[in-house]
Amino acid sequence: MNEHKNELFVGRLGIDPVLKYTPKQKPVCELSIAINSRTTQKTTWKKVIVWGKQAELCNLYLKKGKQVFVQGRRQLREFMTSDGEKRRCEEVIASLIGFSNL
């Protein structure tokens, strides 16, 4: 099941980026980003997936606590666990990651 909606947000990394490579050596980086709501004082967490050269740059320049801008599409993904249990997760496939080196 894939539901695609555009996302645009600013948040802070909750952990350092996790860079991996597919079997065909394509870089993919996973980010966990906290978004603080000014009105409700609640924090929302987003799982962000970054591909290609941008994934390698995220791994090189981003660290826990760094503020980032994300533009991408939201995707609902279904998968089977190793126990055979069906699960769903929501993630954002980033088309653009912005950050300051300051």
β partners of residue 94: 72
Least confident of 20-29, 43-52, 74-83: 74-83
* Cβ count near 6 (within 10 Å): 10
CATH number at residue 44: 2.40.50.140
Domains in the chain: how many in total? 1
pLDDT at residue 3 greater than cutoff 60: no
DSSP E strands, 2-58: 5-13, 18-21, 27-36, 43-51
Q: Give per-residue pLDDT as tens, 48-93.
A: 999 999 999 999 999 999 999 999 999 988 889 899 999 998 999 9
The DSSP symbol for 65 reads: T
- Residue range of the domain that includes 60: 5-98
Terminal-to-terminal C-alpha distance of the chain: 40
